Amino acid sequence: MSQPADIPLPPDLGRRYGASSTGRDWLSSLPRLVGRCLKQWQLELDLAPGALPWNGHGAIVVPVRRRADADRADAVGNAADGKAAVLKIAYPHDEALVEPHALALWNGHGAVRLLAHDADAGALLLERLAADHSLQDVPMDEAVPVWGALVRRLSLAPDGRPEWREFSHIAARAEQWSDELPESWERLGRPFPRWLLEAALEVCQTRGAVGRRSGKDVLVHTDLHYLNILARPGRELNMPARSGRNNPDGGHDHTDSWAAIDPQPMIGEAEFAVAPLLWNRIGELSRADPERGLQERCRDFSMAAGLDAEVARQWSLAREVENALWYAAKPRHGGDLARSLWVASTLAGRTLPELPAPHELPAPGEAAS
């Protein structure tokens, strides 16, 4: 049995998962799982004294290096030999189960490169990206072409490889929403006007049916927001604004300088990916006309990726209505509910008047109100 690794656990993971017995069991298993992976893949920790591992919402990410005395014929092969990597161990959930299949299909093109994975441990060995340099730090006019170029690269058409059987379909999700959203809206006391619910249902009924027979289905990173796009260390990080639009086939768009993480992959229309860009960085919209600014942002990102801006608007509206109902069930998420309603109603062309100004809305991940 592998010895537990001597690693400190990030405090926010403890707060998030320490409230349930299953969460505490997972937290207590992490040192053992890390130790198992270090031995299995002949790795050593690459943490500075006193430093904490990185973490996302549902995973710990430990910087590692391949041991100098590692057998070059092991399961990892030469891919990680002497190179910095990270060991990611996720809390068991459905999205974590399908992540390695998507990363294997992308093979490092537009997404973080998968070096090895252990399904039983929920562990991925990944190339190490610049955790402190995300697209969140990039001015919007430069972020647009970067995102667009990545989406073009990530939008793989299904083929005969077995990984494709692991993904659920966006059209099927829309069909589920057609049944679930009205029930949730009634159960939660009708937390927003009926017309907004009906606008989302129209999208579900239209796009769900069209998506089934459109022949345009691709692999979709459904959580491709700014913080989930990291720079690759050692690559050119500066990129001329709008170069992605002028070089839609790659050219000099520096796509290899950036990689997507945490894909939450599904199969369907690529326009489904636009929504997270609209509910993030709202504070940067024009104060004079933020509603117009949101619509223009949807259009600009869609154009950069070669997508249909109207389809992106429709999917984004439906996704934010679904988010709003999720937040409405959480008493401490009033600010998040207001943000989702502002985005959804603005995309529907009828911004709800009783909401706070968009620049007063909390960003995703901020403390619940």
> Distance of CA 161 to CAs 76, 296, 336, Å?
21, 38, 39
d(CA 74, CA 209): 47
Query: Mean pLDDT, to the nearest integer, of 348-357?
Result: 95
What pLDDT band is residue 72 in, cutting at 50, 70 and 90? low
H helical segments located in 138-193: 140-154, 170-187
Region 337-366: mean pLDDT is 94
For the chain, domains (ranges, CATH) are 11-128 (3.30.200.20), 132-360 (3.90.1200.10)
Of 203, 146, 150, 145, the closest CA to residue 173 belongs to: 203
Dmax over CA atoms of the chain, in Å, equals 65
Q: What is the pLDDT of residue 65?
A: 94
pLDDT for 15-25, tens place per residue? 888 888 999 99
pLDDT of residue 252: 44
3-state secondary structure of 358: helix
Q: Which of 3-7, 152-156, 239-243, 364-368 has the lowest mean pLDDT?
A: 239-243
Q: What is the pLDDT of residues 128-150, one digit of tens each?
A: 999 899 999 999 999 999 999 99
Round to the nearest angstrom and report the end-to-end CA distance of the chain: 45
The pLDDT tens digits of the residues spanning 22-71 come to 999 999 999 999 999 999 999 999 988 888 998 888 899 999 998 876 65
Calpha distance 222→212 (Å, rounded): 18
Q: Which parts of 41-169 fold into alpha helices (H)?
A: 94-106, 140-154
Q: How many CA atoms lie within 13 A of 325 on its CB side?
A: 22
**337, 191 Cβ separation under 8 angstroms:** yes
Cβ atoms of residues 271 and 302 within 8 Å:
yes
The yes-or-no verdict on residue 160 having pLDDT over 50 is yes
pLDDT of residue 76: 53
Residue 366 has pLDDT above 80, yes or no: no
